[in-house]
Structure 1
């Protein structure tokens, strides 16, 4: 069974009139490996490979992936239909402009913000986030404009825009994450707090398109090295710089940034306001080490890194990232494939919508289908593939 990515890759390559061997050489992989990717026998299992292929074919990584993915059920259909509405509210109003519709009272808006920050975002409930965000942003803009509860409304608006940025990034809606970050910057300027502006700066780097890793590294390392920036923000910037370095193939620089982040995590104490402790802590740094290790090609050896990580100390969506990336690493070795599949299923239980939208998990699962036997593991794999929309049921 050909993967969707493999089919798109072949179609774009042929449309560019680029031969298989030339495309492989320009992308830094072998002719045989590219042929297997196009046939769905091998996955595109790293950002580095995805972006190399996208650069060779002169398309965006999301175009090669086919993001945002077509809905596979009512829940994902609701997310899909909400994206244009989120786009409308992001493009329709700048911070300081007031929507004409009558907004809801502050206590109701405040309750939605509490639910967003304490429940929907930690669980990566994309469907509920997508349903809530357009109305919530309009209400907060109205409250800011009216002057009532202005500072609290601005803090809420910053949170809502941040949610929109990560939601649209994970779903692959090109352009919207950058626009949401710009709205965050406007909000932070209205607040007049340099710490909020620093927070926006590292998130801008983290959410930058995968087609511009060098710029991502430049932005992230700049924040990490800025004197006066709170340590947890510098730490997150170091983690972003580590991933960018790994994608660029510079293992030494990536490990240096990880070590800097570890040192900051060891020295940092946070009270959770206005930033959740799970945004930057030793356990989260450990999860990033696993992610960077997979990107650097450590394969099943990332299990050695994972042994020291305590994922239960962070939010469910970060726990899901840990199990997903550990699973991807384990699945690269035939001997540990059962454990790898179990890790992916655990990630799906923790944050189903986030896990199913992960392109590298989708690629890994799709490429495994043809090799799956009709045993218990094979049924579990086919079930996961069906829920992701990468294979029919049965």
Structure 2
């Protein structure tokens, strides 16, 4: 079951290519030789950002080299979103603020409404493929020839929202380079707008696309962005953007094993969330009290939590509030499943959570490298015991050999 699609198998290839022993790599990555040996043999999952970051840095390779790039299967639900990438790439690279790729555009207010519809769509990847590239093209027409200053700023602000959607779509599908391009385009526009909220939004995208090998730098960027925005927050939108920056800082601190600092940032996020309605479907970045709870689960999994403590955190989440944000809901379910997968006695429970995640957002979960790693790991156990039918069915849909 442990083939070249697993992170452990690629780790072994890259380690040997670098001429490093297990002991040498373990020493440089701050891990144990026994953990790495088990990971290379498929007996431990490498699914924590901190481990991936440390190993990539020690091997002097990119995270994509270690984790793997876009993964395509014969399953249309898994593969179809990838067909949107060429058009998204063309829209991001072809347009400039002085030369759009098209000379026609719908009225600006129609484009703003279209962007809002995509942002709140339950099936965002489908909507991205259907609408986002043309929307980016047409917004550039308005940015190049605006009716007035207000229209110019509105076009740029809406483009930042479009670049946010492009960022996370590309990131979800494994196109890290394109995600970073979209984030940097947002940064360019924020520089022109020169307002704290736009700057904060663009900073959030940049943080989420920075390579984990620059993890100390990422933490510094996240903390500085949150601190810079704090004194400028005047309304609900500002709170939401600041909240997402505090969560990004919490994640960045967790990746560098500064758990006390991460907890401080999570507490700050919780305080901000109490100042706004708990409506993740309506808030920017889904920031809300419910989403802070989801992040607490995600960061607990990143720290290595599992079992009862993880389920206790999960029970605090009102899943009904997440229903309109299928991607966020599915990520929460998958995080719980991945954490439980590390504990042999909770294998069946892990499969149940992962299967629920797949049902909520199949396109997202079947394209998740972290979930694929956990499914590979669980599958290696299932073959040694009776059962595993549901797990093998999931593996088939994800293109995992079974």
Q: TM-score, normalised by structure 2?
A: 0.88
Paired residue secondary structure (1:370): helix
Question: Given the superposition, is the C-alpha separation of residues 269 and 8 from structure 1 closer, same or farther in structure 2, using an over 3 Å criterion?
Answer: same
Question: Partner residue of 1:342?
Answer: 352
1:338-394: CA deviation from partner (whole Å, max 9, x where unpaired): 2221111111111112112222211111011122159895111011111111225xx
1:93-116: CA deviation from partner (whole Å, max 9, x where unpaired): 223432245445657645643431
Shifted more, 252-261 versus 203-212: the winner is 203-212
Asked if 2 retains the 8 angstrom alpha-carbon contact of 1:71 and 1:80, the reply is no
1:182-231: CA deviation from partner (whole Å, max 9, x where unpaired): 22233334545432222222332233222221122111111222322433
Question: Partner residue of 2:380?
Answer: 370
Distance 1:259 1:192 in 2: 29
Superposition map of 1:177-188 within 5 A? 177-188=179-190
Distance 1:107 1:267 in 2: 30
Distance 2:109 2:284 in 1: 26
Question: Partner residue of 2:68?
Answer: 66
Distance 2:109 2:73 in 1: 34
Superposition map of 1:1-394 within 5 A? 1-3=1-3, 4=5, 5-100=7-102, 102-104=104-106, 109=111, 112-119=114-121, 122-123=122-123, 125-148=124-147, 150-191=152-193, 193-226=195-228, 227-229=231-233, 230-269=238-277, 276=283, 279-300=286-307, 301-314=309-322, 315-372=325-382, 378-392=388-402
Distance 1:42 1:306 in 2: 23
Distance 2:280 2:188 in 1: 23
Paired residue secondary structure (1:212): helix
Asked if 2 retains the 8 angstrom alpha-carbon contact of 1:206 and 1:220, the reply is no
Asked if 1 retains the 8 angstrom alpha-carbon contact of 2:366 and 2:372, the reply is yes
Question: Given the superposition, is the C-alpha separation of residues 78 and 305 from structure 1 closer, same or farther in structure 2, using an over 3 Å criterion?
Answer: closer
Q: TM-score, normalised by structure 1?
A: 0.89
Residue 254 of structure 1 and its aligned partner are, at CA, apart by 1.0
Distance 2:12 2:337 in 1: 28
Residue 236 of structure 1 and its aligned partner are, at CA, apart by 1.5
Paired residue secondary structure (2:252): helix
Structure 2: gaps (5+ residues): none
Distance 1:298 1:117 in 2: 32
Residue 263 of structure 1 and its aligned partner are, at CA, apart by 1.4
Q: How many residues align?
A: 388
Distance 1:194 1:23 in 2: 43
Paired residue secondary structure (1:225): helix
Asked if 2 retains the 8 angstrom alpha-carbon contact of 1:7 and 1:39, the reply is yes
